[in-house]
Chains A and B, each alone.
Chain A
Amino acid sequence: MKTLSRVTLYTLMTIMSFVFLFPLVFMVISSLKPDAQLLHDTTSLRAFIPTGSISFKNYSGVFTRIPFFTFLFNSLLVSLITVVLGLFVNSSIAFAIARMKWKGKNFVMAIILATLILPFEVIAIPLLYICAKIPSISFTGGFHLTHGIFNSYQIQILPFIANAISIFLFVQFFKTLPKDLDEAARVDGASWFLIYRKIAMPLAGPAIGTVAILTFLPMWNSYLWPVMTIQDERYRPIMIGLQYFYTNFQTSWGQIMAYLSLLTIPVVILFLSMQRFFVTSIATSGVKG
């Protein structure tokens, strides 16, 4: 009886694994096929089998067609800086909200939650108008003051550092820490800053993991905002690279599949290498109310 139910469970879990993996298998297998065969194979289950003329030509095509490593570097840089800055900025406001009493706190929290409502696509254009007005100094063609901070890393980072979901998760987490912890410390004369740095943050490992991955993924996948603000190839992130394979209504599907694999695989590897940490950290953070 026990083994029977165990067999059922494993069967079920394996079937589910197929469900979650088959599109990705299709992607990787397709990246090895020439365009015409790739498209023809999509009409049958051959799409999942590496048959026909298999090669890495699409990958070499990708590397000659676009500056892949520049894009990869840009995306990693932008995503990681945003993650790190976001961890500081969002945890500190969350700490203030969860642990301190101050005037305007509830109002601030209400505003933060309200910012969750509109998805980025909706505010992208107004944000563009605003960013066009940010003064900045340009050193190209002489020293002068200009408007707009386009074509830079900072335009890709600044708007996404403070994030309502991150704040929300940190608040939830900090609320679960026992109150006595900082009250005792306060009585001992410790400053709030010390409590944040020495007590709250060291305990916040799981929340940090969650927020890190939740910040990293959308940054890695960001597309619309860079299209609007980055005109210089040197600063373009990796998702924009995808557009290079559609030219004059002629789409290089093999190279697209290779590129999709290339932009998915690093994230999966990153996740796998930190798998234990992420799965447990997301699992134990915040959501206990």
Chain B
Amino acid sequence: MKAIKVEAVTKTYRQNKALASVTFEIHKGAVAALVGENGAGKSTLLHILAGLVRPDSGVTEVSGSAPTQDWKWLSRIGFVDQDASLQGGMTLNRYSKMGKDLNTPWNEDLLLARCDQLKIPSGRPIKQLSGGQRHVVAVLLALAKEPEVMLLDEPLASLDPISRRTLLGILLSQAYDKSTTILLSSHLVSDLERSCDYLVLLSGGSVVLSKPTDEILGTHYWITNSDKNLELIRQMCDAETDYMIELDSQILLSTTNHEIVNLTGAKPAGLEEIVIARMSSSPIFTKQAQTER
């Protein structure tokens, strides 16, 4: 079952094309990462999915319906913006009481236990907390209403490495225990490699890659850039499904052909390297490479 569907979504701000026909789907219960350079359209996309921005065209479906302002739908969605602003004078305890009055369900016990785990004083006014702590509080509050879909814009950016790991652990266990679908944007690809089971890579307003993390890791290889290897790629790769990115001394090849992997002595590529290569240059498809040479 799909928890998030995005089909041919476009959005232009005045002259600026923020999203140029974006299409992808996320399974229920998946922990998906939205990755891309600054200005790639990640925040615009998350705002559209949260029902805060209307797309120019295209279809979106989150938790079974198009984003609306209807409270029934809103109660199933959790959204934390990049700069989530909380009222500074209120304590977390008061926020939790307010949350309890406004939401069903509201898991107060879990909320307070998690604050403890992250060493956040729940009796102190929010404004006395650090920027990172304030952001964590916002995410924990959103989790307390046990939404079906959590949309998070850069939830890890302002956190130290330990809090980052702890918050990721909290997000992942909620995804596992409650089948919550999580879509989070982040630049910290090394953290995502172990945590996210799906990756959507945006570049210049378009989806460059949208696949399960395991599948991406299992099909991307580094190969030494030599005439012999290029010849092998030309002969053996499938132009329809395989692609390569030619860098100075290395080639990033995406293929499911294990024979060529063995013949060229290819080494598996890490997620961060794949993301950087795919963001900075467009792939040469092997069919193209064949005709060019």
Real binding pair: no
**Which residue numbers of B lie inside 8 Å of A, CB to CB?**
none
**Which residue numbers of A lie inside 8 Å of B, CB to CB?**
none
